């Protein structure tokens, strides 16, 4: 069966029941990238998603966990040949995590170089208060012909968004991002063919409750409002965008 929706950044293993979260994405026919936050979490996600038609698993080493999990970079390198998808990785320069920023940059460089060496990887990137260094590292260590980056919940400036487009990046957007003035402004600057939807569940909430697994309906609705396209057109274009991404640099 063909997918109906796209959720290209979600933490299914942080919902109460991973197996049920995967099943929910299958029932809704949502092409899903289930990111992980540490390499040690990868195997369990892969095991439970093995029978899924719609859920793919990303190999991650979250920048917020680098301080305590940086030694898992060796496991990351060992596991990488088993998947085309990488995430969640990147940089986080927010006050709480800035003390590990130099170590984050080293690990991020390692990840990009490992991915570039293999080629063909699709990376979902975290860039909180660090959009410029993330793009700097991408440009230096992951040439566009060696992999494709998706900027998850991007909050950088319009000029940095334009630079990311020039570097071949995609953007995954969720309903909370699209409800903010910054998100609304950015959407007008990003070519629609570079946009994918995400939930970032369970972190994004709706009415005080975590967004259900795979439920990108809010993001689709807001994209419709912001672009003037009807929701069916938005949903179909997102699927076209995903197809183009997956077929690039195979």
- Confidence (pLDDT) at 250: 55
DSSP string, 114-155: HHHHH--EEEEEEEET-HHHHHHHHHHHS-GGGEEEEEET--
- Confidence (pLDDT) at 249: 63
Give per-residue pLDDT as tens, 55-82. Answer: 999 999 999 999 999 999 999 999 999 9
Residue carrying the six token digits 């920023």: 101
Contact indicator for 77, 100 with CB cutoff of 8 Å: no
Torsion, CA 64, CA 163, CA 151, CA 184, rounded to 10: 110
Peptide bond into 88 cis (omega under 30): yes
Number of domains in the chain: 1
Digit-by-digit pLDDT tens for the chain (250 residues) are 899 999 999 999 999 999 999 999 999 999 999 999 999 999 999 999 999 999 999 999 999 999 999 999 999 999 999 999 999 999 999 999 999 999 999 999 999 999 999 999 999 999 999 999 999 999 999 999 999 999 999 999 999 999 999 999 999 999 999 999 999 999 999 999 999 999 999 999 999 999 999 999 999 999 999 999 999 999 999 999 999 999 986 5
- Confidence (pLDDT) at 248: 81
The CATH number linked to 14 is: 3.20.20.140
- Confidence (pLDDT) at 148: 97
- Confidence (pLDDT) at 58: 98
Give per-residue pLDDT as tens, 9-66. Answer: 999 999 999 999 999 999 999 999 999 999 999 999 999 999 999 999 999 999 999 9
Cβ of 78: how many Cβ atoms within 10 Å?
11
Q: How does the average pLDDT of the chain come out, rounded?
A: 97
Q: Give residue 75's domain range.
A: 5-247
Question: Long-range CB contacts (< 8 A, 24+ apart) of 21-27?
Answer: 21/213, 22/48, 22/49, 22/52, 22/55, 22/213, 24/212, 24/213, 24/214, 25/52, 25/54, 25/55, 25/213, 25/214, 26/52, 26/53, 26/54, 26/55
């Amino acid at each position: 069966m063909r997918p109906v929706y796209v959720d290209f950044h979600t933490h299914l293993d942080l919902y109460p029941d991973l197996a049920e979260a995967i099943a929910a994405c299958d029932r809704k026919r949502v092409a899903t990238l289930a990111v992980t936050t540490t390499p040690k979490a990868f195997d369990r996600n892969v095991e439970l998603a093995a029978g899924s038609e719609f859920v793919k698993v990303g190999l991650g080493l979250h920048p917020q966990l680098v301080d305590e999990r940086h030694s898992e970079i060796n496991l990351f390198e060992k596991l990488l040949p088993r998947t085309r998808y990488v995430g969640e990785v990147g940089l986080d320069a927010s006050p709480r995590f800035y003390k590990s920023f130099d170590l984050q940059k080293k690990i991020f460089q390692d990840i990009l170089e490992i991915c570039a060496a293999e080629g063909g990887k699709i990376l979902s990137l975290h860039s909180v208060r660090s959009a410029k260094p993330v793009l700097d590292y991408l440009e230096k260590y992951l040439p566009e012909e060696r992999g494709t980056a998706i900027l998850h919940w991007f909050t950088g400036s319009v000029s940095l968004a334009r630079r990311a487009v020039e570097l071949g990046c995609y953007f995954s957007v969720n309903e909370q991002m699209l409800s903010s003035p910054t998100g609304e402004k950015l959407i007008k600057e990003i070519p629609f063919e570079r946009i994918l939807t995400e939930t970032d569940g369970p972190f994004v909430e709706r009415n005080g409750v975590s967004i259900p697994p795979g439920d990108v309906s809010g993001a689709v609705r807001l994209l419709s409002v912001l672009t003037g396209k009807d929701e069916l057109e938005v949903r179909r274009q997102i699927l076209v965008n995903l197809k183009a991404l997956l077929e690039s640099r195979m």
